[in-house]
Amino acid sequence: MYFKINQSLHTIFLITAMFFVVQISFGQHTDIFEELKNKKDDTTKVNYLNGLASKYKYTDSIARFYASEAKRISEKISYSKGLSKSLYRLGSLEKRKENYQEAETYYLASLNIREKNKNLRGIVFTNIQLSQVYQEMRVYEKAIQHGKGALETCLLINDEEVLALTYHVLATIYEDVNDYSASLRAYHNSIKIHEKMGDEASLADLYLSIGKLYTTLKKKHQAREYLNKSEFLNKKLKDYSSLASIYLSMGVNFAEEKKLDSALIFYHKSLSIKDSLNLNSKEAIYNNIGVVHQEKEEFELAEEFFLKSIETAKENDNEIQLLDTYLNLGIINRKQNKNQEALKFYNQSYALAKKYNKDLDRLNILMGIAETYEHLGDYKNASLFNERHIELRDSIDIKFRNAELYEKEKEKNDFLLKEKEVEEQKSRRKDTQMFALIGGIVLLALLFFAVFYAYRSKKEKESEIQKNIELLKKQELKSIKAMISGQESERKRIAQDLHDRLGSMLSMVKLNYKSIEDNLDKLKEENRKQYTQANALLDEACNAVREIAHNMVSGVLTKFGLVAALEDLKNTIQGTNTFQIEVITHGLDDRLENNLEMELYGITQELIHNVIKHAKAKEVIVQLVKRTSEINLTVTDDGIGFENSKNNASTGMGLKGIESRVDALKGIFHIDSNKGNGTTINIDIPI
């Protein structure tokens, strides 16, 4: 399809268009036009024009002029390769302007030429673009067809980067059509290639996408695993916009577990990033905050956030978010027995769910409509919508089961692959040992008679040396054991002295203070204040002595490690009913170096002590993650927060002391807090 136009009319049009374009917006390209005017119409000129169209692809009018000229000359001289490129460029310009039907026409024409010329790379990229165009047009059958076409051709050109891109595009299309097992398979294939390439930017995006999909499938463990991976890379890449999306998904995970205050913490973290970047795409956050307030039965507050979400979604032309928010407004009106209002919002949501092929949303809407008709006493419609709900549920169950089967199959294949690698390593090791053995035997046979006596003498000497080395090692081990035993005994002795002697003395002083309390009314006001202060200091000293003694003889950290010690600390705090605390650890199957475990435990104790003393929190989350080259400790509370500035005294000596300890470990210490929004302390320590 070459779009041939009457030559004389086309020439007149081009001359007129060139005049106006040059006068209005191409002033800076005068030199290029002069150069083009002096070039004859040949393949070199076409390639030059296509290169300019690519170079200025983000300036629509300029790129369109160069691509159109390349197309005209290619048609004139029958240069099919140049024509396919110019059509591809014009298709990309239409796609960027969301003129998808025009883009489809140009891309199909380009693909037709490239298939005739057997231009494999061109076929791959054109099919990828067509699959994305059909995805936007919601013509999913054609989107998958061209995606598969790109994949088949891509396997022939041996380009892993393009192959990973193709899998990523297919993953998003399969997700749109609710084929979750195919989507997971494509995501994992793309991730595997990018991990091999070390492409962190693409991996950060993929980890976020698959984390969101696992959130949709209500697989919380897998969702958090990939969201944590994406968070780590996006922090490294300083992609704060993606971090906002990650925290939004983390909030959804906590909300699914009914940990509503934790969900709010992450929603507000996401909102804070959006505010700092001056981004207006906050409709999903407003909606999810509304859902939390709805769960708490704070209906007026929930409705306020839902309306803010609708307003922002309409400003951003985000119909997908309108779908969710209308559904939530239907639910909240149903809960308040406003049944006609509920039906109105349910119907608005259902229309959008059907338009965008969102089966999970349709399932919830159908159930809500059926319940609403039942409360209105319209049992005929209630039964009708309930039957539609059951039919759709059965269909979705099959897709979920397929996703489950894929996960099990993947785990099995991963296990078999690891077993195969282990067997291959064993086989290689055996082969190496066999060759080494044969070589050794041959060598020994050749050298045996020549060096027999010298060899025997040397072995005797080596044996004697080895005995001496073993003896030294045994002595060294005895010394180390004695030193450790002595240190432990000394720690117990000091702890005992603190508790029995100094603790007893302080208790006696406390009794003496108690004896004068009866005469406290006779003391002057000034003396009474001094007495009160001294008494408070004495209480604090007694507590400190007991705490030091306990810490010195505490064996949980030493015997069982950091994870067990943190769980012990969690149980101790929960026993006081001060606040709810959750400890999340990842990657700590093996013990860390002893000094590092003690430092991390001490830092965590100090941070929790600060929360108890200042934050007035109801919930605290302690997250400890071991990565390849660092340990990340995050302590988040939903307390009153504080203004985080260098001049703010509320940061206190406690946090400064912790920061000094982190500096000593060559770590990074970061505080994220505002009044009324809680506090997050984030610490990264290299290992």
pLDDT of residue 16: 47
Q: Is the domain of 326 the same as that of 416?
A: no
Sequence-distant contacts of 337-342: CB under 8 A, at least 24 apart: 337/375, 339/372, 339/375, 339/376, 342/368, 342/372
Residues 499-532 have pLDDT tens digits of 555 655 565 566 556 556 556 565 556 566 667 7
pLDDT of residue 17: 47
pLDDT of residue 522: 58
Q: CA quadruple 517, 518, 521, 523: dihedral positive or negative?
A: negative
In a domain, 160, yes or no: no
Q: Is the domain of 472 the same as that of 573?
A: no
Domain edge (last residue) among 114, 137, 165: 114
Q: Is the domain of 372 the same as that of 407?
A: no
**What is the pLDDT of the chain when averaged over all its residues?**
80
Q: Is the domain of 609 the same as that of 667?
A: yes
In a domain, 640, yes or no: yes
Indicate if the pLDDT at residue 252 is higher than 50.
Answer: yes
Residues 425-434 have pLDDT tens digits of 555 555 555 6
In a domain, 293, yes or no: yes
Q: Is the domain of 504 the same as that of 618?
A: no
In a domain, 647, yes or no: yes
Q: Is the domain of 405 the same as that of 491?
A: yes
Indicate if the pLDDT at residue 474 is higher than 60.
Answer: no
Q: Is the domain of 57 the same as that of 107?
A: yes
pLDDT of residue 25: 47
Is the separation of the CB atoms in 88 and 120 below 8 Å?
no
Six-digit token string for 404: 């489950």
Please give the residue that has the higher pLDDT: either 685 or 492: 685
Q: Is the domain of 362 the same as that of 402?
A: no
pLDDT of residue 129: 95
How far apart CA 260 and CA 258 sit, in angstroms, is 5
Q: Is the domain of 474 the same as that of 590?
A: no
Give the confidence band of 397 by pLDDT, cuts at 50, 70, 90. Answer: low
Indicate if the pLDDT at residue 97 is higher than 50.
Answer: yes
In a domain, 5, yes or no: no
Domain edge (last residue) among 114, 144, 162: 114
Q: What is the mean pLDDT of residues 591-607?
A: 86
Q: Is the domain of 607 the same as that of 680?
A: yes
How far apart CA 241 and CA 278 sit, in angstroms, is 10
Domain edge (last residue) among 323, 354, 377: 377
Angle at 81 between CA 80 and CA 86, to 5 degrees: 95
Task: Quote the domain boundaries for residue 333.
Answer: 280-377
Query: What amino acid occupies position 450?
Result: A
CATH number at residue 341: 1.25.40.10
3 state DSSP class of 584: strand
In a domain, 204, yes or no: no
Q: Is the domain of 566 the same as that of 681?
A: yes
In a domain, 432, yes or no: yes
Any idea what DSSP says for residue 612?
Answer: I
Q: What is the largest CA-CA distance in the chain?
A: 117
**Beta pairing, strands 630-637 & 679-686:** antiparallel
Q: Is the domain of 644 the same as that of 674?
A: yes
In a domain, 161, yes or no: no
Four-CA torsion 510, 515, 516, 520, nearest 10 degrees: 100
CATH number at residue 660: 3.30.565.10
Q: What is the mean pLDDT of residues 655-662?
A: 85
Please give the residue that has the higher pLDDT: either 146 or 544: 146
pLDDT of residue 392: 79
Number of domains in the chain: 4
Six-digit token string for 153: 């051709």
Indicate if the pLDDT at residue 213 is higher than 70.
Answer: yes
Nearest to 685 by CA among 667, 663, 660: 667
How many residues comprise the chain?
A: 687
